[in-house]
Amino acid sequence: MKDIKYSEILRLNKEFTFDESVRLIEIRVLSNVSVQQSKEIFEFTLRSESVPAKVYYGDYDNIIQDSLKYQTSNVVIIFWEICNISDGFEYSSYLLDKDYINKLIERIKQNIDLVFQNLKATSLVLFNRFSALLFSYPTIQSNNLKLIADQLNQYLEEKATSTIKLIDIDKVIAQAGVERSLNLRFYFSSKALYSIDFFKTYAQFVKPYILAANGKAKKALIFDCDNTLWGGIVGEDGIDGIEMSVKTKNGKIFNQVQSIALALNQKGILLGLCSKNNVKDVDEVLNNHPDILIKNEYITIKKVNWNDKITNLREIASELNIGLDSIVFVDDSSFEVNLVKERLPEIKIIQVPEKLYEYPISLLKHFDLFYNLSYSREDKQKTEIYKQQSLREVEKKSFANIDDYLVSLELCLTVFKNDLSLTARLSQMTQKTNQFNLTTKRYTETEISNFISHPDYVVFGISVKDKFGDNGVTGLCILNLDKDTYSVTFDVFLMSCRIIGRKIEYAFMDHLVSYLKENNVKTASASYIPTKKNGQVSDFYANCFFNEISSIDESKNYVLNITEYKPHNLDYIKIEYGEIN
């Protein structure tokens, strides 16, 4: 990105075209300086990651009014520059007295309140922290600009809600270089404060937030073993010959890499191995090596064999039930790296750098790709849950037919109706679920809690447990009731991929329809909106006795006459009602 010329970006960005059916992600940039040159850079950065972004700008120096006007944008980015609070403030601020400064700070705080209020329902707001760096870096002394920025940042910290992400713009400036970030020539002529280099760095820096909001966060980190997870080759050097101890020069590097991986695991990222090795050797290391941090218990999936890595990585994706594009793979061999790059381009690959001391930081540079917008309790359990799933897969193979297997699971479905305490998890599911998701509507926590308290909406969450353990809250349905016509619309129906393949969706639907019957609802309408990933549910409503009434492109609209519904009556799934917490 850094190496691509601006004119090249302008040209390449024109080459992205979108079908009319694609829902563009509207990004609105509000600012009190001129930042229009970021448009093509933002668009190009995101479109390169398959996010159909379209960037628009607010009016110059109209942040407060625009925050009201554009609150429905998918993403709002705010550049609020202290140096341009009034014309020439970067230097006139030196001459201000304390009283004036305090009043000014109070006034800006009120404005911040207004902006936050206006944007409280916006899915994602990227709000740059206030910064004085561009006009204070050459001096050892502090100045009023810095004082104001510090106080306002403290205020932002107190007031920002979970959908407002504060961007540490000083880190961006540090990465791009202070003098390369600042565009003095255009700042003085056109109020365009930032350089192209700055915007390139900024776009890369904030990209993970926008990817996460569009369900594109990475979910699994898969390592090769020899010279990747540890130094040396276990098959040749033996368990005592491989290095991952802080006490040795190279060992320390692998120890650091394992620390980073483990930190990701604690945030709910799945760890796995894909290595050409003897499984006995690797297990010996994982179980008994005194310096190993990534012990067996943290590893969800292992493909340690002599098959090619393409096959193994495909199996990893299918067994974890995640897309190839959710995987990051680390390997030291140029051969393997190039092979995977060529054959499985969806997978993000990190090659162990030749300068080994750069290895930990090169991993850290990819840390944000795993970023989730809301970490909830579920994430901590995730490794455990997926691990149980791998056990289930193994057991699945030994049953004669799938129904026998399902019966043996002792499945139990718990239904939660309008439970506010689940808001964070329900919102997170709308953000992250791609495969079993009929409409792929993304909702913020605020939107979910509004549905829950609205009389015309009913929000059902389900959690699923079986003899292996509790999968947690893994399904969601939002119904929109029309009491006058005794009808209902399925706004959202989704299930986490962790529980797909157990006919739980049909038990859930049975339950929903019986709820609708009890409430005298006569008809239900629903639609399937296709995406690249939800092909597997294209016939879900048809399988539930809904009649297709129209279709545009691949989208289908359905109506169900409630009396025509035939319950699936899956007696191997027990249904319970959850206590409202």
Partner 1 sequence: MEKSTKERILNVMAITFETSLEKLNENSSVDNIENWDSLKHMNLVIALEEEFEISIPDDEVGNIISYKLIELVVNECSTK
Q: Choose which of 142, 161, 190, 421 interacts with partner 1 (CB under 8 A).
A: 190
The residue (of 57 and 370) whose beta carbon lies closer to partner 1 is: 57
Residue 251 CA to residue 242 CA, distance in Å, equals: 8
Answer yes or no whether residue 398 interacts with partner 1 by CB under 8 A. no
The region of 5-13, 25-33, 61-69, 465-473 touching partner 1 under the rule CB under 8 A is: 5-13
The region of 2-10, 380-388, 391-399, 557-565 touching partner 1 under the rule CB under 8 A is: 2-10
Counts of helices then strands in the chain (DSSP H, E)? 22, 18
Which x/- pattern over 141-180 shows residues binding partner 1 (rule: CB under 8 A)?
A: ----------------------------------------
The region of 15-23, 181-189, 254-262, 533-541 touching partner 1 under the rule CB under 8 A is: 181-189
In the range 29-48, which residues lie near partner 1 by CB under 8 A? 36-37
Q: Choose which of 103, 107, 171, 185 interacts with partner 1 (CB under 8 A).
A: 185
Answer yes or no whether residue 14 interacts with partner 1 by CB under 8 A. yes
Q: Which of 427, 327, 355, 570 is nearest to 121 (CA)?
A: 427
Shortest Cβ 60–partner 1 spacing (Å): 11
Q: CA neighbours within 13 Å on the CB side: how many for 99? A: 0
Contact 419, 372 (CB under 8 A): no
Q: Which of 33, 90, 28, 89 is nearest to 60 (CA)?
A: 33
Q: Which of 364, 296, 297 is nearest to 330 (CA)?
A: 364
Q: Please name the residues in contact with 125: beta carbons below 8 A apart, sequence gap of 6 or more.
A: 75, 76, 77, 78, 119, 163, 164, 165
Contact 148, 132 (CB under 8 A): yes
The residue (of 10 and 364) whose beta carbon lies closer to partner 1 is: 10
Answer yes or no whether residue 59 interacts with partner 1 by CB under 8 A. no
Question: How big is the chain, counted in residues?
Answer: 581
As beta bridge partners, residue 270 has 220
Residue linked to tokens 């157990």: 502
Answer yes or no whether residue 543 interacts with partner 1 by CB under 8 A. no
Q: Please name the residues in contact with 558: beta carbons below 8 A apart, sequence gap of 6 or more.
A: 525, 526, 527, 528, 541, 542, 546, 547, 548, 549
Q: Choose which of 2, 3, 7, 400 interacts with partner 1 (CB under 8 A).
A: 7
Shortest Cβ 388–partner 1 spacing (Å): 54
Q: Choose which of 5, 247, 355, 397 interacts with partner 1 (CB under 8 A).
A: 5
The residue (of 37 and 531) whose beta carbon lies closer to partner 1 is: 37
The residue (of 48 and 514) whose beta carbon lies closer to partner 1 is: 48
The residue (of 7 and 139) whose beta carbon lies closer to partner 1 is: 7
Answer yes or no whether residue 16 interacts with partner 1 by CB under 8 A. no
Residue 281 CA to residue 3 CA, distance in Å, equals: 43
Answer yes or no whether residue 182 interacts with partner 1 by CB under 8 A. no
The region of 189-197, 353-361, 402-410, 500-508 touching partner 1 under the rule CB under 8 A is: 189-197
The residue (of 57 and 493) whose beta carbon lies closer to partner 1 is: 57
Question: DSSP secondary structure string, 467-495?
Answer: TTEEEEEEEEEEEEEETTTTEEEEEEEEE
The residue (of 9 and 257) whose beta carbon lies closer to partner 1 is: 9
Total residues at the site for partner 1 (CB under 8 A)? 14
Answer yes or no whether residue 1 interacts with partner 1 by CB under 8 A. no
- Tell me the torsion sign for CA atoms 56, 61, 62, 66: positive
Q: Which of 340, 74, 318, 384 is nearest to 212 (CA)?
A: 74
Shortest Cβ 185–partner 1 spacing (Å): 6
Answer yes or no whether residue 2 interacts with partner 1 by CB under 8 A. no
Q: Choose which of 41, 83, 196, 271 interacts with partner 1 (CB under 8 A).
A: 196
Contact 509, 558 (CB under 8 A): no
Answer yes or no whether residue 192 interacts with partner 1 by CB under 8 A. yes
Contact 407, 572 (CB under 8 A): yes
Mark 349-361 as b/e (b = at least 16 C-beta within 10 Å): bbbbeeebeebbe
The residue (of 41 and 481) whose beta carbon lies closer to partner 1 is: 41
Sheet holding 523-528, edge to edge: 547-552, 555-561, 523-528, 487-495, 469-482, 457-466, 411-417, 573-577
Shortest Cβ 28–partner 1 spacing (Å): 17
Q: Choose which of 11, 23, 103, 365 interacts with partner 1 (CB under 8 A).
A: 11
Answer yes or no whether residue 394 interacts with partner 1 by CB under 8 A. no
As beta bridge partners, residue 493 has 477
In the range 350-379, which residues lie near partner 1 by CB under 8 A? none
The region of 182-190, 250-258, 463-471, 513-521 touching partner 1 under the rule CB under 8 A is: 182-190
Answer yes or no whether residue 186 interacts with partner 1 by CB under 8 A. yes
Q: Classify strands 547-552 and 555-561 as parallel, antiparallel or unpaired.
A: antiparallel
The region of 3-11, 17-25, 250-258, 382-390 touching partner 1 under the rule CB under 8 A is: 3-11
List residues binding partner 1 (CB under 8 A): 5-7, 10-11, 14, 36-37, 185-186, 189-190, 192, 196
